[in-house]
Chains A and B, each alone.
Chain A
């Protein structure tokens, strides 16, 4: 499998030596000269405009500490790239500005840095829009225009940005080597179209424009560890989707169809599904209970066409001359729109319109940004909802049997029906050692099912249940074992005060909302 890595410069602290700067400047001039030779006069002239609109973004980031959730990690400093688009906005990657406490923007050739703030962030497609209040920032700038569609294979593109912490604009050149549907590492769960280019894209390029004939065909965003000259850009359709989404002043995100399909190439399977040999189509194998198709499609339905486009038996369609997964058609829809699909159901073809309005999914486990984690502490035991961030924090303890179960839940909670009756999986995430919990280490990373006789489907349930001890004890039960954790309720309350002081915990509870599970 390919592993994608964010190329955010936030993590780059590379010192650029003066010599390197000189080399960089010479290289840029050479590139400009070459471009002038290679491109028609209009394109050569546009490079100056482009330079005036590409922005270096300085960020101070403070991540949340998911093992000590009452405190934040040490601030980090870094930088990325962006570019000015219409309406005096700066487009960049979400991963450049996620968890940022302070953001500044600086244009190429300008010594001034201007405070910037986030207008919209789209973590599911790794894009963000920044604004700078000071009009002086935009003087002499010209918004960079977008291409109207995907580039073609072998199209020659340039990437502009500020890689490796450099303060001068960098230009690299390459060709489009692949257009694919691939994972976006920022959220670790989303996949969209990507444009693969062979131009060097390095940390710090993130958020910079990838241009064809002076128009943006993508936003540089991730690379591949261990590979050479493979960079990825977020293509125009994804950017366009985000810009349309925020037109009403709010980002809704991509709708999720929530359909897993089964290849129907096997002739025996096709006969069993009563499909004509060359009719294509994919069989619905599983429906996500939080997906838009839930209730509209059924297991065993065969999806033949979507929006009039034939779906091949391997699940692909031909779109704009490229073969892509049929999900790309959903990708191009906005939240609230609908998609029409032709479905073979028990041998009869019917047309189904699926409104693309899926409820918020607490079990998709995107990496969370910008929001401090929820937690509750009792008797020195730190309870938190399961999240990808928490899994990341306990990653080094993956040998732990209970930690393994958490990874399992993060993937199979919905397919195996384990999510029912919950909005969160509440995990004993940490233990602040104290005599009251000395013998409770073995419960670490286990999922709470019941506390003081009440079912626990969310952290708020736990907080409420702990208000009513059972015969003087807090009795906490966990998934997959009948062994209860028992705390003396009075001793736990007394211990909490000592624990709060000893471990400098400002508050024993942080709940994002008071919403409880449906129990």
Chain B
């Protein structure tokens, strides 16, 4: 059945060839007509979806990005479009990247004009997936859920669906050519991913990929040059939905350590490892993570959860065959479960059991903020204070000068996952809004703030607490500077009012982050 569906692509390419060789046109027309006749499901009306009703919806997103340097500013509204797959009555799965920084999410039946508002129910950036809820009960009744496929295997045939502007359904055949663990460019972490070869040029993210009698996955990205789609597979979607059904959503677990293959024979001898024992070398262990206190740098990890790890960091997964270790750690178990591990330390075999803990972006000293959440900030007498994130460093734009930027990016590269204590962040003076109150300081930017009014600060909440307590900043200590900045608290209210008006800042602070210890 599925192999027939591949023929539209062939028919199309033959049609194009016909234009190049006009003499063959009648022959190709006849052949094309014959192919279309035997494959009625290549293009059909949206209403003709198998089983009737709406399984796939257009997801229409209005989004605004925050200005990382003036975080009270939002970009002009932008528009994105993709697909969502109806997973049960009133709930739609789509990609996290599609609804990133959304100010409005709407759903629409392909080819229809009427839009229905939707609410974002759950987002998991690590799994790159999002769950939407339909607000309109009438629209809910038109939706028909798609069952998730239970078997996703290398070599399996798939069917990819999308809709053109008029709402006509397009289908293309595909084949799963690879099951791997990789990080898509937009995702913060590696996740189980299917590579599907298909000549259907998929235009928008979120397109459903069917196989094994159900939804095999949703398309994250399509590489037209190589005719390859990157698909988030059904097992990852099922796992996400299971977690959503829990009273409290728990993100997938993370090992909380970095490792490297251990192939070098000299190094294996140095670590007193037998030649064929496999195992990878632990490079570093993050603070407050699953293996904190159990593994140490230069331990050689031999087994995780019963799976033997080879020297390149692969194990034999019962479902997917030879698979990268990170899937055994993050993809097979839920947070809270305990798994046995086996490792060699200083030549001695050791065994232990670790409790799997989720690791969120917020656990880092310097979070990535891949999802582009509006950054917290505080403006005091024109000093713009915020926490350092990967997104801020990548935002470019106004440079703090090569040396200031270099210092922050070095910190990011060297220590981003190593907070000394939970909740520690790097607070920076990202810039100064010129005003008479801050004369002499206006060229300072990208400076690390270590203390406010003489009190050490660990994050922006600490800064806000000290500012509120002392009714302003008297003294700001910057790392590496022998002279503190001094401000006049008596001028604070007047200066803040003036600055808010001059620079059109609706609120001089945003502190949305949960209270940290």
Contact = CB atoms under 8 A, between A and B. Distances in A.
Interface of A: 262-269, 271-272, 283-287, 299-300, 313, 401, 404-405, 407-408, 411-412, 415-416, 436, 438-440, 442, 473, 475, 480-484, 486-488, 491
A442 B407 contact: no
A475 B264 CA distance: 13
B447 to A, nearest CB: 12
A486 B283 contact: no
B403 interface: yes
Contact of A487 (B266, B441, B483, B484): B266
B409 A473 contact: no
8 contacts: A267-B439, A271-B486, A272-B475, A286-B481, A411-B407, A439-B267, A442-B260, A483-B297
Given A262-B481, A488-B269, A267 B488 contact: yes
Contacts of B406: 404, 407-408, 411-412
Contacts of A401: 413
A404 B413 contact: yes
B440 A263 contact: yes
B480 interface: yes
A283 B483 CA distance: 7
B214 to A, nearest CB: 42
Contacts of B403: 411-412
B298 interface: yes
Nearest to A436: B266
A473 B270 contact: yes
Contact of B483 (A262, A415, A442): A262
B410 interface: yes
Nearest to B268: A486
Contact of B486 (A268, A415, A416, A438): A268
Contact of A405 (B283, B410, B485): B410
A473 B266 contact: yes
Contacts of B269: 473, 488
B414 A269 contact: no
B281 interface: yes
Chain A CB count within 10 A is highest, among B443, B482, B485, for B482
Given A266-B441, A266-B486, A436-B266, 9 more contacts: A267-B488, A269-B486, A283-B483, A286-B482, A300-B482, A408-B410, A439-B267, A480-B414, A482-B283
Nearest to B407: A412
Contacts, number: 104
B270 A475 contact: yes
Contacts of A405: 410, 413-414
A285 B482 contact: yes
Contacts of B414: 405, 480
Interface string B435-456: 0001111010000000000000
Contact of A488 (B266, B480, B482, B485): B266
A299 B267 contact: no
Nearest to B265: A488
What's the interface size class on B, roughly? 35 or more
B105 to A, nearest CB: 36
B284 interface: yes
A237 to B, nearest CB: 27
A267 B176 CA distance: 69
A428 to B, nearest CB: 15
A413 to B, nearest CB: 12
B440 A264 contact: yes
Contact of B267 (A284, A285, A407, A486): A486
Query: 3 tightest CB-CB pairs across the interface, nearest first?
Result: A299-B482, A266-B440, A265-B440
A265 B439 contact: yes
B168 to A, nearest CB: 44
A12 to B, nearest CB: 29
B450 to A, nearest CB: 13
Contacts of B480: 286, 415-416
B487 interface: yes
Interface string B481-513: 111111110010000000000000000000000
Given A404-B413, A483-B281, A285 B441 contact: no
A412 B263 CA distance: 36
Chain B CB count within 10 A is highest, among A265, A266, A484, for A266
Given A405-B410, A412-B407, A272 B266 contact: no
A486 B482 contact: no
B271 to A, nearest CB: 8
Nearest to B281: A483
Interface string B391-414: 000000000001100110110011
Contacts of A473: 266, 269-270
A268 B437 CA distance: 9
